[in-house]
Structure 1
Amino acid sequence: MERKLVSLSPSVSTSEMETNSTFSDHHSNRNCTVENFKREFYPIVYLIIFIWGALGNGFSIYVFLQPYRKSTSVNIFMLNLATSDLLFTATLPFRVDYYLRGSNWIFGDLTCRIMSYSLYVNMYSSIYFLTVLSVVRFLATVHPFRLLHATSIKNAWIVCGFIWIFIMASSIMLLYNGSELKGNVTLCLELNRNKASKLKTMNYIALVVGFLLPFCTLSICYLLIIRALLKVEVPESGLRLSHRKALTTIIIALIIFLLCFLPYHTLRTVHLLQWKADTCRDPLHKAVAITLALAAANSCFNPLLYYFAGENFKDRLKSALGKYHPQEPKCSFPFCVWLKNETRV
């Protein structure tokens, strides 16, 4: 579990809930196996997340930045979400090295502070960007003309800027504590046992504002759009494109919430409530480690959202890939000219 202070904002969770022998006493004689579990589990998982997240989000950003005849507020939110994911995945190799060395940090105090900061900025910015995306999709479907100005490109950038400033500023407390020397090793990403009681209070605030409020908003949007679709007479060709994309966006966002964020926030709360110094609870510690990895893996699932629910993403993707395909050879024969003219009709 990461050793750090937390603020009262939703962007700051209480700790990473990464558990090892230092969670009770780094030199304890208790037979805790969670340290060995982390040494085997985290490097593999973080390496997979790094490769998939870097490739998926890096290429998605490239696609979003391709010149296109029409830009939308949805793509602005997705571009910012992909940027957050890419910045976070850049920190994962440091985590891999830390656990391979048996929880020994060698990259300096400042880098250790950035590790905690990056995780929670990514987690809660992802939560808010996914929520805003779902709300915008819902409003564009139910009130497409009445709220046209509210979903403009300019307003989308303003909302993104507000989210970035709010999350990053409220997470600044995470930069106050860095690495700590314990014997012959330097610890990072560990819980400060002296702040356990304060962490519990901060966890409740972060749980409500940072997770439950967005999750309830997302769920309400899902129910309301289902209700709206039930009132619409669906033609034989299926749902309209706007309805289909709105429903796809909200469903994928809900899956990410349920798979990545809900287990972590639930077990983090249980873990803090049951935590006692000099106590080893291997099953719970390992479960929390797994849910933390799932929370980090949200950066791998977001590219699926871009592909299936992004505005013009597939067209942009084809345009980007087309740059690397050789053009068809030109033909000057009369038959070729005739064939080209026929295909244009």
Structure 2
Amino acid sequence: IEKKLLSLPRFTSMPEMEPNGTFDSSNSNGSCTIENFKKDFYPIVYLVIFVWGTLGNGFSIYVFLQSYKKSTSVNVFMLNLAISDFLFTSTLPFRADYYIRSSNWIFGDLACRIMSYSMYVNMYSSIYFLTVLSIVRFLATVHPFRLLHVTSIKSAWILCGIIWILIMASSVMLLKNGSEQKGSAVLCLELNINKIVKLKTMNYIALVMGFLLPFCMLSICYLLIIRALLKVEVPESGLRVSHKKALITVIIALIIFLLCFLPYHILRTLHLMEWKVNTCKEDLHKAVVVTLALAAANTCLNPLLYYFAGENFKDRLRLILRKGKAQKTKYSLPVCMWLKRETQI
């Protein structure tokens, strides 16, 4: 019986590094699981990210789409970043439900395939939108006139389209992994352990092209902007503002990289390197779960970038609030006049 059990295919959540529990001969009960930890941790975190991320990014999209006298390529990248975050946060209630039901998927095979796909499309599109946004800010600050064609709105939309196509095409393999029946439960977000070699290869490619390369470019932008600020004194107040916004953009992007994306990529790589059949490292598994939640939390931090570094974002926001106040006054005025008239009678 033991041989037959060991010969059965084992599953773990390799697409997102959410270990599902593997056999550990050192355990007294002969099992290793973090299901209870995931059941307690994921639903709360995902629902908090869902509320904050949906409201923050949904409202940001509304602000960006308001007609305004001046639009820039920076707003185009920020709008695409907000759309990516909004689409991803809409999937989080389904993930929370999955873990509340103790890893039992009830939404069908197609929805299961979309879950992992959406996670990685959002993660790497966010990484590239943040990187390109920082580069454009740097170029517009250091070489404002020589590279006008690079920072034009048309070029920004073309570049956003290229990023969407590349990220969606490179993540399409995740759509092949659907739900799996295991006893009375239906597993999702999980792959067969037999594909561990392919997963390691995919992880190294994603690590280098999806994280390390953008992170290096972002770091170089930060150093060059600091160098430009220290090298010359800029007399015009307008240029001082552009330097300040460029610096804020890169600093917030670096914080998001270091807080959300760096821990996840380190732990994911370490988990794949350390993984062996019939072994259990619960501390490492729990750390991967936490870092995955941090990676999802980038959707909550991006609205701060729009507010503090977006072009005309505060002006658009004031315009919306002013319109809302005027609309409220418009509807309340007839009521006030009626009350006044009734009081006189």
| TM-score interval, smaller chain | 0.7 to 0.9
RMSD: 2.1
Give the CA deviation at 1:205: 1.0
* 1:269 alignment counterpart: 269
Matches for 1:276-291 after TM superposition, within 5 Å: 276-291=276-291
* 1:195 alignment counterpart: 195
**Residue type of the partner of 2:314?**
K
* 1:104 alignment counterpart: 104
Identical counterparts, % of pairs:
77
Give the CA deviation at 1:235: 6.3
* 1:93 alignment counterpart: 93
Matches for 1:148-167 after TM superposition, within 5 Å: 148-167=148-167
Cα separation, partners in 2 of 1:272 and 1:56, compared to 1, 3 Å: same
* 1:81 alignment counterpart: 81
Matches for 1:324-339 after TM superposition, within 5 Å: 324-326=324-326
Give the CA deviation at 1:24: 5.1
Taking CA–CA contacts closer than 8 Å with sequence separation of 6 or more, which of the two structures ends up with the larger relative contact order? 1
Corresponding position: 1:207 with 2:188: no
**Residue type of the partner of 2:92?**
L
**Residue type of the partner of 1:309?**
A
Corresponding position: 1:39 with 2:39: yes
- Structure 1 outlier segments of 4+, above 2 Å: 1-4, 28-33, 234-239, 326-329
**Residue type of the partner of 1:133?**
L
Give the CA deviation at 1:202: 1.4
Q: Which moved more, 1:120-129 or 1:197-206?
A: 197-206
TM-score under structure 2 length normalisation: 0.88
Name the SS for the 1:74 alignment partner: helix
Give the CA deviation at 1:2: 8.9
Verify the 8 A CA contact 1:264 1:292 in the aligned structure 2. yes
Verify the 8 A CA contact 1:103 1:187 in the aligned structure 2. yes
* 1:54 alignment counterpart: 54
* 2:145 alignment counterpart: 145
Verify the 8 A CA contact 2:248 2:309 in the aligned structure 1. yes
Verify the 8 A CA contact 2:12 2:20 in the aligned structure 1. no
Verify the 8 A CA contact 1:203 1:269 in the aligned structure 2. yes
* 1:303 alignment counterpart: 303
**Residue type of the partner of 1:68?**
Y
Give the CA deviation at 1:32: 2.8
In 2, distance between residues paired with 1:196 and 1:235?
A: 58
Aligned residues: 317
Cα separation, partners in 2 of 1:238 and 1:136, compared to 1, 3 Å: closer
**Residue type of the partner of 1:298?**
N
In 2, distance between residues paired with 1:246 and 1:24?
A: 51
In 1, distance between residues paired with 2:259 and 2:297?
A: 9
* 1:11 alignment counterpart: none
Give the CA deviation at 1:191: 3.4
* 1:10 alignment counterpart: none
**Residue type of the partner of 1:185?**
A
In 1, distance between residues paired with 2:241 and 2:23?
A: 54
**Residue type of the partner of 2:162?**
F
